[in-house]
Amino acid sequence: MPQSNSEPLSEAALLAMPADDYMNERQLAFFKRYLNDLRRETQEAIEAVKQAIAATEPEADELDRAAMEEENRQRLRIAERQYFLLRKIDTAFAKIDDGSYGFCEVTGEPIGLQRLLLRPTAELSAEEKTRQEQRERNYAKQRG
């Protein structure tokens, strides 16, 4: 049974849509919800890291203190990655607003629904990302 236009799209219904419906209003609404959920989860993860760091008790033993500092350093790296993801999510929202969401920044071709479901902040098509990574590997070999 087809979903009405007022119902949120399911992942299966999204993938079942014809290719010429790419990034229509319902698909954009789906990704807005998807990105909002991802944003909320990311903010919760950052808050959990902050609380974990704040809850650490000072250790008297040097080895325990060193282990605690290493744990906090790892937590900070995780938080830094989460903040980076928040910026990418904000960029994705801006792209939804300007109509460029879901299209490769280099080629202008569709990124594809499957890729966006896996990485909703993707800015390049899988093909262009592969080309870019290949160029980076070649450059690294030349410098190596």
Span 96-113, average pLDDT: 96
* b (16+ CB within 10 A) / e for 5-37: eeeebeeeebeeeeeeeebeebbeebbbebbee
Q: How confident is the model at residue 129 (pLDDT cuts 50, 70, 90)?
A: very high
Residues 6 or more apart whose Cβ sits within 8 Å of residue 39: 86, 89
DSSP three-state, residue 10: coil
Give the model's pLDDT for residue 100.
Answer: 97
Q: Rounded to an integer, what distance in angstroms lies between the CA atom of residue 27 and that of residue 10?
A: 10
Span 71-89, average pLDDT: 94
Q: How confident is the model at residue 144 (pLDDT cuts 50, 70, 90)?
A: low
Q: Which domains does the chain have, with CATH numbers?
A: 11-143 (1.20.120.910)
Span 73-93, average pLDDT: 95
For the full predicted model, state whether its pTM sits above 0.95: no
Give the model's pLDDT for residue 1.
Answer: 43
